[in-house]
Structure 1
Amino acid sequence: MSAPSHRCRTLAEVYLDNNATTPVLPAVAAAVMQTMQQDFGNPSSSHSTGIKAKVALEHTRSLARQLLGAATGEIIFTSGATEGIQTSVISALQALRARGLCGPETLLLYGATEHKAVPESLKYWNKLLQINATVQAIPVLNSGLIDTDALRQLLPRAAMVCTMAANNETGVKQDLVALEKLIREVKPDAYWLVDCVQALGKMSLDFAKISIDYAPFSGHKLYGPKGIGFLYVRPGAPYQPLIAGGGQEGGLRSGTENLPGIAALSTIFSQLLNPESSVFCADAVLWHYRQQLLAALRQVFPALVLNSAEPHILATTLNFAVPGFFAKDILDLFDAAGIRVSSGSACSSKVTGSFVLDAMGLERWRSEGAIRLSFGPAMTAEECDEACKRIVSLAPVVRQHCLVLTDADPLNMSVAAGLSQFKYDANCSYLLSCEHSRQAIIIDPVMPLAERFVNIIQGQGLTLVAVLDTHLHQQANPASKLLRQLLVDAKDQDVTGWPLAHDTLQVGVYQLSRIATPGHSPQAYSVLLKQADSITAAFIGDILLPAGIGRTDLDGGSAMALQQSLQLLQATVSEQTLLFSSHDYAQRFVTTFALAKQETPLLQHILAGAEQEQWQQRLNEQSAILQQASTHLCGLVEVSHQDAIALVQPNDLEQLLSTQQITVLDVREPYEQSAGAVDTYLPVTAEVLQIPLSRLCNAMLQQQLKLDQPLLLICRTGNRSLLAARVLRRLGFKQLWNLQGGVALLS
């Protein structure tokens, strides 16, 4: 299928993730093309074309020596920093083995914030070469600098020390002079590797004045192509080739040299060596750009906190977090607006943190919310201005969706009426609100989401009727307690937050009542949601999970009570009533009794009144599995992989939308939808329905979607839309497509 013949306007990209990789400079690309098409000789050939190639290669090596102050030692061209690290580690470990420095008393040290390539290489080759030394992290201070007191204690047993010149996440620069003084004073024969990947073009390096044994570099971090790098090896440092073969690079690294990549390095080195005519900015200019970008960020996020700061950082890296935000929230928001940044944590349904910030001892919320904005030393004033303009444009989006508190008039702000489901790891919290009465209720909040709830309630001017817990274990929920103190006027309420004077609660058009459903815990209730005299949903805590049954082996749990509660709940609601649990380990969002009995055969025996001994053993077996895996899980879920969703390639999108009456379902969050409308990227006009993943539960509750409705699901990367498609398929939807790669491949 050919590419679409036309597209709507796409959002121009503002790229601020240069610590990950950089675009290739035009002059560098020209040098690469020239070498590939004209000066393409093999440096090992003896004819004129080969000799020219050899001269160009050695000229680049000479430029590298000038740039690094490395008149002596080896400059070896590699495929990149990872190869340089591997080669350095192998060389040092082979020498250690020859010296008899093996066994657990020997330490192989690395900075706790080091790029994973270093410790993983140490562990791998330590085991493979049977050195069997102890691989150990050197602690760092809150600033990110190596803890020199801790290093001093470790050095007497150290055979190799690995540190960074500058950290890729935080931009923190290590004091290499101080580290050298300490290492050579306490353990002068230790081999010292310094990862210099982020240093080139951003900080001065003079290897004539510092006794670094190994220093790997990578071209694509400084406007070169991927697949080229080089390694500096100090005179006298042991060296063992990683790649043997034809003897290229003086026998130090076999394989025909990557001459186009080396030509790219030559152009970059020349630029760095001639600052008066270089595209690279002076340090003062880079700091000015940093201040501009930081000021723009603070307009969007006034409470922004920097995770690394002067004087220990490179100008080109801003690592920050915002209270109440997870990294994925900001990443999705920025990406929808065409701003490319990165997070310090993986973006998945499970909230993780940055190991770098964890090692620095920063608060967990800063680790989980870490965003890295990085620009290159060749940034122009125009690029900086455009980046700032694009960032500032997000301020009204953030205010509109109550992501931060403002002094805006809440009566003029729209309310996300109905039910919203918020997730933190496998925890599910719910917000039910009515647009007309401007009332709301919160069910099963967790502390990491508390600030988000405060922003929504106060930002939209809602009256919070109650904060309810469906169940409690040994103590009250601290998140609920905090939210009640801040937002709820009612005083007389039980420990779960239910007002004592009321059997029912009214939230605008919604009426809530509850029934006692102990079993998983002694204090447990199912909160019933009634609309137009019909129970349409129930919030059931953990007595029943999507594709699982709650545990009964926790304190106060009772298998008999659980059976009675499940039977009562079944008698109270219909087979199709939506059941919302407080945990969702299988990413299924919701269940019903009809679904639950299909997916969990054990449930049918329990509901049928089977004797306890007939099913208790199986439930106990499930609990034992849970206890081995994680003591906090509240029920076992057996996940079955169902992926019968039709995947649509971006190039096939135009034909699909032109030939079938399909509704495009945009499942990105509301702030993403406001920051960048999906129809901007579509090749043809199509009906677009915006139902964020967090509002999918409301779409089911309000029956916004029909089972026979053809739907093409879209998100930023294709992951959330695939998840939504699986949820819908499980609920009976038949005609579902998912855009592979999401909006990212259309932009």
Structure 2
Amino acid sequence: MQKSAIRPQEIYLDNNATTAVLSCAAAAVQHTMQQCFGNPSSSHSTGIKAKVELESTRQLARQLIGAGSGDIVFTSGATEGIQSSIFSALLHARMSGKTGATFSLLYGATEHKAVPQSLEHWNHVLQLGATIKAIPVDQHGLLDFDFIRAELPNTLLICTMAANNETGVKQDLAALQQLIRAVAPDVLWMVDCVQALGKMPLQMEQMTIDYAPFSGHKLYAPKGIGFLYVRKDTPYQPLLAGGGQESGLRSGTENLPGIAALQAIFQQLKLKEGSVFQSEPQLWGYREQLLSALRQVFPDLVLNSDRPYIVPTTINFSVPGFASKDIMDLFDAAGIRVSSGSACSSKIPTSFVLNAMGLPLWRSQGAIRLSFGPAMTAEECQQACKAIVALKVVVNSCCLVLSDASSTELQPLAGLVQLKHEDLCSYLLVSAETSEVIIIDAVLPLASRIALLVQGHQLKVRAILDTHLHKDHPSARPELVTLLADLLNQANTNSLGWPLDETSLKMGSYQLNTVATPGHSPEAVTILVRQQQQKFAFVGDFILPGGTGRLDLPGGDSQAFRQSLRALSQQLEPQTLLLSSHDYAQRFFTRWDLMLQEQPVLQQILNTEDTPDQWLSELQRQTDWLHQQSGYFCGVVEVCVSDATALIDKDQITALLQQHPRLQIWDVREPHEQAAGALSVYLPDLVSKEVPLSALVQQVADQHTKTPQAVLLVCRSGNRSLLAAKVLNRAGFELVFNLKGGVALLA
């Protein structure tokens, strides 16, 4: 498809993470830093002016949240407010003699991690020894009242949220209060109100909430300012002592510029007319417009939270067949900033919030949070919708969604495509000359993506093959046979999908043959692929990049493995790329000559009759390591700067080209990212080559007969390009440079 030559305008839709500073707030900051810069504790006129600004802001905060006689303490933000509240409550419990595991500290299972981690920290530091318990939620994200009712009699502190940062789910604070005070009138109660101000009404004087932290940067103020509401007569122990500021509740010279920004925002919130903040009906209208745009791009979109349980400014959704990273990368390339709403952990990132709600794993792994602020304008909403709808052409052309797109719009698909899910690898071998494909070692999580690619390009399916009967995960072959029935060359096959009446498979210029390689499993084969010369060997789990083959599952046989390895060594050429069905070490491929270099013990296996103790020991070490693995980082793999010859800033590209005139620039982002935001937009005077990570093995195969040139790798953030640098280094590329910060710092 024709890629846009216009640099995308940034559309910021991650306001639950942070917000831009409103112009009126920025002006207030500058005024306070340059004119009203006094220390509020000073007794001269300049200090008195500053004190007036400080107290005026406190009074506005009091009015906005209906604080009544409660205290308003200015803090550095929500984390400090949470820490101060929990520390105060737990210290009060300890001083009251309420210690030990019979007492509970409750928090909602969908709370921001700052809450349970603060509970653990202060429970340990104060040696309270209380039991920390998560309050379950239902499928809507609402707290389990029966659980709370049962636990309250022995509870020291209960922590809940006003509105959730990932899903926008709001809790019924009035109903919670009725329950809490009916069962435990004296229990301390903290409510995280960070996502509430400006989005839902708050009247603290009508509630019995003891602590309520707020954060400025979630509502158009600078970072580093917030405030804490503390109910009258609630136990409070300052975390910071020494200057007596904030009536002794929080020592340290106040952040007056930040407080001035809060004042400007509070004034806007109080305006009846002409405020930058939109009414609730207007915000719901924006939400519907954004949802309509999203559904034009992703017709199968599923909402993970919805009315009437939410504030209007958060849209949390998943799309079948998409991991959150796929959508984030697509949106980011188009200049649209959204979030997965979850922290990266092992394997593909999952949302602990959606897990707590009991939603299916695919929704948790695919969750996207789109959040706009209550000061969004109609024009900004229209711009956002226009940018989102523009992605419809991209997802169609890249076959991420089936459409009636003509073949001229499709991204080209040829050669070997390597698709990954966690540590699992699936392969498409595509003959552009005959419009055919052979699918190898497909796994269920990738079945939909594979089917869409094949159907979108209208490729005839020559065969769907497995290298072995997978013991640790189901093959997607039966699923794909059904999904691709209209495109599949129907034939009687063996248990691995190989046509019974063909000893050799031919597809265009490719020829495929099998070699029996039992060892990982009795029926395992290696599929050898020739295209003039031998190019690929699909080895399943018989050989692993960085490993010696997996023999720890049922059917593993070290003696058979040794015999198969010897037989295969007679068939392989040194430069043949070996492709496994697992890639635990994130190496993408290996080669026979690399294996012998990296694992000298293999020489003993090949040249002696006895099974070397060293190899058996290595197999056991590898097995133990595999059992400890729970997967790999969510598309962001651990890399280091030494994986590249050098890190290059964008200002150093010209000098690098002078030093290496034949330098090639490779864009290793995936096709949907490249289509959404071409690299030429950011590097208009340079020619780049599109080499997505999914096509990296094919690129290495194409270049192995040539002398590798100097290469500058570019991705979105610099992480995937460093991973590609590591891969290319092993393949013999000696000059591999990485663009520091990737497209993110070019944008």
Aligned-partner SS, 1:23: coil
| Match runs of 1:583-594 below 5 Å | 583-594=582-593
What residue is the counterpart of 1:5 in the other structure?
Answer: none
Aligned-partner SS, 2:708: coil
What residue is the counterpart of 1:517 in the other structure?
Answer: 517
What residue is the counterpart of 2:366 in the other structure?
Answer: 369
Following the alignment from structure 1 to structure 2, what is the Cα–Cα distance between the partners of residues 462 and 452? Answer: 14
What residue is the counterpart of 2:675 in the other structure?
Answer: 674
Q: Deviations over 1:89-133 (max 9, x none)?
A: 000000010111111111101100100000000001101110011
In the TM superposition, what is the alpha-carbon distance from 1:659 to its structure 2 partner?
A: 5.5
Counterpart amino acid of residue 324 in structure 1: G
What residue is the counterpart of 2:740 in the other structure?
Answer: 740
The 1:462–1:347 alpha-carbon spacing in structure 2 relative to 1, beyond 3 Å, is: farther
Asked if residue 32 in structure 1 is aligned to residue 29 in structure 2, the reply is: yes
What residue is the counterpart of 2:271 in the other structure?
Answer: 274
What residue is the counterpart of 2:336 in the other structure?
Answer: 339
The 1:474–1:648 alpha-carbon spacing in structure 2 relative to 1, beyond 3 Å, is: closer
In the TM superposition, what is the alpha-carbon distance from 1:430 to its structure 2 partner?
A: 0.6
Aligned-partner SS, 1:548: coil
Counterpart amino acid of residue 629 in structure 1: Q
What residue is the counterpart of 1:636 in the other structure?
Answer: none
Aligned-partner SS, 1:527: strand
In the TM superposition, what is the alpha-carbon distance from 1:614 to its structure 2 partner?
A: 3.0
Q: Deviations over 1:661-720 (max 9, x none)?
A: 2221100001111111112112x6112111101100111222289543111100000001
Q: Given that residues 9 and 681 in structure 1 are in contact (C-alpha distance below 8 angstroms), is that contact kept between their aligned partners in structure 2?
A: no
What residue is the counterpart of 1:208 in the other structure?
Answer: 205
The 1:144–1:456 alpha-carbon spacing in structure 2 relative to 1, beyond 3 Å, is: same
Under a length normalisation based on structure 1, what TM-score does the superposition of the two structures give? 0.95
Counterpart amino acid of residue 408 in structure 1: A
Following the alignment from structure 1 to structure 2, what is the Cα–Cα distance between the partners of residues 351 and 305? Answer: 19
In the TM superposition, what is the alpha-carbon distance from 1:165 to its structure 2 partner?
A: 0.5
Q: Deviations over 1:699-744 (max 9, x none)?
A: 1222289543111100000001111011101111111110111100
What residue is the counterpart of 2:666 in the other structure?
Answer: 665
The 1:375–1:704 alpha-carbon spacing in structure 2 relative to 1, beyond 3 Å, is: farther
The 1:712–1:26 alpha-carbon spacing in structure 2 relative to 1, beyond 3 Å, is: same
| Match runs of 1:95-134 below 5 Å | 95-134=92-131
Return the match for 1:85 from 82, 85, 90.
82
Asked if residue 565 in structure 1 is aligned to residue 569 in structure 2, the reply is: no
What residue is the counterpart of 2:635 in the other structure?
Answer: none
Residue-pair matches, total: 733
Gaps in structure 2 of 5+ consecutive residues: 633-637
Following the alignment from structure 1 to structure 2, what is the Cα–Cα distance between the partners of residues 449 and 651? Answer: 39
Aligned-partner SS, 1:569: helix
What residue is the counterpart of 1:321 in the other structure?
Answer: 318
What residue is the counterpart of 1:3 in the other structure?
Answer: none
| Match runs of 1:403-552 below 5 Å | 403-409=400-406, 413-474=410-471, 477-487=474-484, 488-532=488-532, 534-552=533-551
Counterpart amino acid of residue 652 in structure 1: Q
Aligned-partner SS, 1:390: helix
Counterpart amino acid of residue 677 in structure 2: G
Counterpart amino acid of residue 375 in structure 1: F
In the TM superposition, what is the alpha-carbon distance from 1:645 to its structure 2 partner?
A: 2.6
Under a length normalisation based on structure 2, what TM-score does the superposition of the two structures give? 0.95
CA RMSD in angstroms comes to: 2.0
In the TM superposition, what is the alpha-carbon distance from 1:274 to its structure 2 partner?
A: 0.9
Q: Deviations over 1:515-560 (max 9, x none)?
A: 111111122110111112x221100011211111123232111001
What residue is the counterpart of 1:688 in the other structure?
Answer: 688
Aligned-partner SS, 1:572: coil
Q: Given that residues 605 and 612 in structure 2 are in contact (C-alpha distance below 8 angstroms), is that contact kept between their aligned partners in structure 1?
A: no
The 1:240–1:141 alpha-carbon spacing in structure 2 relative to 1, beyond 3 Å, is: same
In the TM superposition, what is the alpha-carbon distance from 1:478 to its structure 2 partner?
A: 4.1
Q: Given that residues 349 and 425 in structure 1 are in contact (C-alpha distance below 8 angstroms), is that contact kept between their aligned partners in structure 2?
A: no
Q: Deviations over 1:169-222 (max 9, x none)?
A: 111111111111111111122111100000010100000111110000000000
What residue is the counterpart of 2:39 in the other structure?
Answer: 42
Asked if residue 192 in structure 1 is aligned to residue 192 in structure 2, the reply is: no
Asked if residue 64 in structure 1 is aligned to residue 64 in structure 2, the reply is: no
Following the alignment from structure 1 to structure 2, what is the Cα–Cα distance between the partners of residues 434 and 52? Answer: 76
Following the alignment from structure 2 to structure 1, what is the Cα–Cα distance between the partners of residues 704 and 322? Answer: 29
In the TM superposition, what is the alpha-carbon distance from 1:660 to its structure 2 partner?
A: 3.8
Following the alignment from structure 1 to structure 2, what is the Cα–Cα distance between the partners of residues 465 and 205? Answer: 63
Following the alignment from structure 2 to structure 1, what is the Cα–Cα distance between the partners of residues 240 and 409? Answer: 67
The 1:133–1:40 alpha-carbon spacing in structure 2 relative to 1, beyond 3 Å, is: same
Counterpart amino acid of residue 326 in structure 1: A
Return the match for 1:311 from 302, 308, 311.
308
Following the alignment from structure 1 to structure 2, what is the Cα–Cα distance between the partners of residues 442 and 210? Answer: 62
Q: Given that residues 639 and 719 in structure 2 are in contact (C-alpha distance below 8 angstroms), is that contact kept between their aligned partners in structure 1?
A: no
Following the alignment from structure 1 to structure 2, what is the Cα–Cα distance between the partners of residues 433 and 295? Answer: 36
The 1:55–1:704 alpha-carbon spacing in structure 2 relative to 1, beyond 3 Å, is: farther
Following the alignment from structure 1 to structure 2, what is the Cα–Cα distance between the partners of residues 421 and 617? Answer: 31
The 1:613–1:729 alpha-carbon spacing in structure 2 relative to 1, beyond 3 Å, is: closer
Following the alignment from structure 2 to structure 1, what is the Cα–Cα distance between the partners of residues 205 and 119? Answer: 27
Following the alignment from structure 1 to structure 2, what is the Cα–Cα distance between the partners of residues 190 and 491? Answer: 70
Counterpart amino acid of residue 544 in structure 2: L
In the TM superposition, what is the alpha-carbon distance from 1:19 to its structure 2 partner?
A: 0.5
| Match runs of 1:194-273 below 5 Å | 194-273=191-270
Counterpart amino acid of residue 480 in structure 2: L
Aligned-partner SS, 2:498: coil
Q: Deviations over 1:209-239 (max 9, x none)?
A: 1111000000000000000000000011100
Following the alignment from structure 2 to structure 1, what is the Cα–Cα distance between the partners of residues 471 and 652? Answer: 55
Deviates more, 1:690-699 or 1:468-477: 468-477
What residue is the counterpart of 2:610 in the other structure?
Answer: 611
Following the alignment from structure 1 to structure 2, what is the Cα–Cα distance between the partners of residues 89 and 478? Answer: 49
Following the alignment from structure 2 to structure 1, what is the Cα–Cα distance between the partners of residues 596 and 224? Answer: 54
Q: Given that residues 424 and 581 in structure 2 are in contact (C-alpha distance below 8 angstroms), is that contact kept between their aligned partners in structure 1?
A: yes
What residue is the counterpart of 2:298 in the other structure?
Answer: 301
The 1:631–1:699 alpha-carbon spacing in structure 2 relative to 1, beyond 3 Å, is: closer
Counterpart amino acid of residue 693 in structure 2: L
Following the alignment from structure 1 to structure 2, what is the Cα–Cα distance between the partners of residues 673 and 223? Answer: 32
What residue is the counterpart of 1:697 in the other structure?
Answer: 697
The 1:452–1:434 alpha-carbon spacing in structure 2 relative to 1, beyond 3 Å, is: same
What residue is the counterpart of 1:711 in the other structure?
Answer: 711
Aligned-partner SS, 1:44: coil
The 1:409–1:644 alpha-carbon spacing in structure 2 relative to 1, beyond 3 Å, is: closer
In the TM superposition, what is the alpha-carbon distance from 1:320 to its structure 2 partner?
A: 0.5
Following the alignment from structure 1 to structure 2, what is the Cα–Cα distance between the partners of residues 505 and 463? Answer: 14
Following the alignment from structure 2 to structure 1, what is the Cα–Cα distance between the partners of residues 327 and 658? Answer: 34
Counterpart amino acid of residue 584 in structure 2: Y
Could you tell me the percent identity over the aligned residues? 57
Counterpart amino acid of residue 234 in structure 2: A
Following the alignment from structure 2 to structure 1, what is the Cα–Cα distance between the partners of residues 553 and 330? Answer: 40
Following the alignment from structure 2 to structure 1, what is the Cα–Cα distance between the partners of residues 669 and 131? Answer: 46
The 1:228–1:131 alpha-carbon spacing in structure 2 relative to 1, beyond 3 Å, is: same
Following the alignment from structure 1 to structure 2, what is the Cα–Cα distance between the partners of residues 414 and 262? Answer: 52
Q: Given that residues 526 and 540 in structure 2 are in contact (C-alpha distance below 8 angstroms), is that contact kept between their aligned partners in structure 1?
A: yes
Following the alignment from structure 2 to structure 1, what is the Cα–Cα distance between the partners of residues 705 and 183? Answer: 70
Counterpart amino acid of residue 236 in structure 1: D
The 1:116–1:406 alpha-carbon spacing in structure 2 relative to 1, beyond 3 Å, is: same
Counterpart amino acid of residue 313 in structure 1: I
Counterpart amino acid of residue 130 in structure 1: Q
What residue is the counterpart of 1:580 in the other structure?
Answer: 579
Following the alignment from structure 1 to structure 2, what is the Cα–Cα distance between the partners of residues 254 and 476? Answer: 58
Counterpart amino acid of residue 520 in structure 2: H
The 1:514–1:359 alpha-carbon spacing in structure 2 relative to 1, beyond 3 Å, is: same
